[in-house]
Amino acid sequence: MLLESLAVFLLASMVLVKSASFAVKSVSDIAGHFRFSGFFIAFVLAGFISTMPELFIGVNSALVGQPDVGLGTIIGSNIADMTIVVGLIALVGRQIKADAMIRKNNFYFLAVTSLPVLLMLDGGLSRDDGLILVLAFFFYMSRLFNKEKIFVKKKRDDYKLLLRNIGIFALSMAVLFVSAHFIVEAAVDISLELLIPSIIVGLFLVSFGTTLPELTFSLRAVLAKHKEIALGDIMGNVAIDSTFSIGVVALLGPVSTGFTVFATSMLFMVFSALLVITLLQNHAKITWEESFLLFFLYAMFVIIELKGVFV
């Protein structure tokens, strides 16, 4: 039974990652047709689409009465994004710079990342908390729209290519949602077989797979000498996950569970965001040497969380 669940989980994860990659690529091409700005494509469109694996897993987990899996996946993905993924692209690119728009929004980025922690102080997330998070997402996005140019040039007229990309995007999203359903079912079975909390499976096993789309997108951006776009994608992903994705999960299935695991993981999520912002505020970039500090933070997260479960 355990081997069967692991096989289903791995197969569904590979399908999810591939479909998410197609979705990100197609929506980027669609945005290019309408001549959206690079910041808007990276931070809003690619950032939002790359949250779909976490969101769909969260939605499926809430619908089957296991919101812990979804919430754990979102939190674990955010921590991995701000430590492992940012660290890797800084290491590969030797350094990663932040443009002025990202630095101007550092305070708001930290605020939306911290908001779920504040709402969890009573030991859970209610539907009212979910509504607050979703509204915070729209407020955050509206502020970005007011400060940044959305369009940069006149749109292209290749409508045949546009329709093709729209079709690829729609199909990718459908496949992504179905694969997320199988991932949730397999993750719950694995947690039962191993006698560990389902949130732990979400924090580490499921979240690892959901970070691959943004890792792939960001590494491609770094290798193409667009390092600011790479960082924008990751920060957009974390901001959207911290508000919209967690909010939707709470709206569908209010979370009320043991406070310790959620508290420590969410505090690590906030601290990882604070560390990245601090590094960026110091000299507007993250160097390859500083990437090891991010890796160390993730290692501490793994040790502390697993120690709390198995000791």
For residue 6, give the CATH number of its domain: 1.20.1420.30
Span 266-293, average pLDDT: 86
Span 47-75, average pLDDT: 82
With cut-offs at 50, 70 and 90, classify the pLDDT of residue 123.
confident
Which of 90 and 32 is assigned the larger pLDDT? 90
Task: Return the sign of the alpha-carbon dihedral for residues 98, 100, 102, 106.
Answer: positive
Span 19-24, average pLDDT: 77
Q: Encoding tokens for residue 230?
A: 């790479």
| H/E run at residue 287 | strand 285-287
Q: Which of 77, 84, 54 minimizes the C-alpha distance to 244? A: 54
pTM of the entire predicted model: 0.84
With cut-offs at 50, 70 and 90, classify the pLDDT of residue 298.
very high
Eight-class DSSP state of 224:
T
DSSP letter for each residue of 148-210:
S-SB-SPPP--HHHHHHHHHHHHHHHHHHHHHHHHHHHHHHHHHHHHT--HHHIIIIIIHHHH
Task: Give the pLDDT confidence score for residue 208 in this predicted structure.
Answer: 79
Task: Give the pLDDT confidence score for residue 121 in this predicted structure.
Answer: 78
pLDDT at position 111 over 80: yes
Identity of residue 150: I
Cβ atoms of residues 175 and 17 within 8 Å? no
Which of 211 and 25 is assigned the larger pLDDT? 211
pLDDT at position 296 over 90: yes
| Coil vs helix vs strand at 65 | coil
Which of 109 and 36 is assigned the larger pLDDT? 109
Task: Give the pLDDT confidence score for residue 272 in this predicted structure.
Answer: 92
Q: What number of other Cβ atoms are within 10 A of residue 7's Cβ?
A: 11
Q: pLDDT (tens digit, 9 = 90+) per residue, 62-90?
A: 888 878 888 888 889 999 999 998 998 88
Q: pLDDT (tens digit, 9 = 90+) per residue, 147-185?
A: 555 555 555 566 777 788 888 888 888 888 888 888 888
pLDDT at position 233 over 90: no
Task: Give the pLDDT confidence score for residue 41 in this predicted structure.
Answer: 63
Q: What number of other Cβ atoms are within 10 A of residue 156's Cβ?
A: 12
Separation between Cα atoms, residue 141 and residue 135, nearest integer Å: 10
**Domain containing 18: what range?**
2-310
Average pLDDT score over the chain: 80
> What percent of the chain is predicted at pLDDT more than 70?
81
Which of 257 and 64 is assigned the larger pLDDT? 64
Q: Encoding tokens for residue 252?
A: 């569908």
With cut-offs at 50, 70 and 90, classify the pLDDT of residue 46.
low
Separation between Cα atoms, residue 243 and residue 224, nearest integer Å: 30
With cut-offs at 50, 70 and 90, classify the pLDDT of residue 258.
low
pLDDT at position 228 over 80: no
Q: Which of 301, 107, 81 minimizes the C-alpha distance to 209? A: 81
pLDDT at position 105 over 80: no
Task: Give the pLDDT confidence score for residue 176 in this predicted structure.
Answer: 82
Identity of residue 38: G
What is the number of domains present in the chain? 1
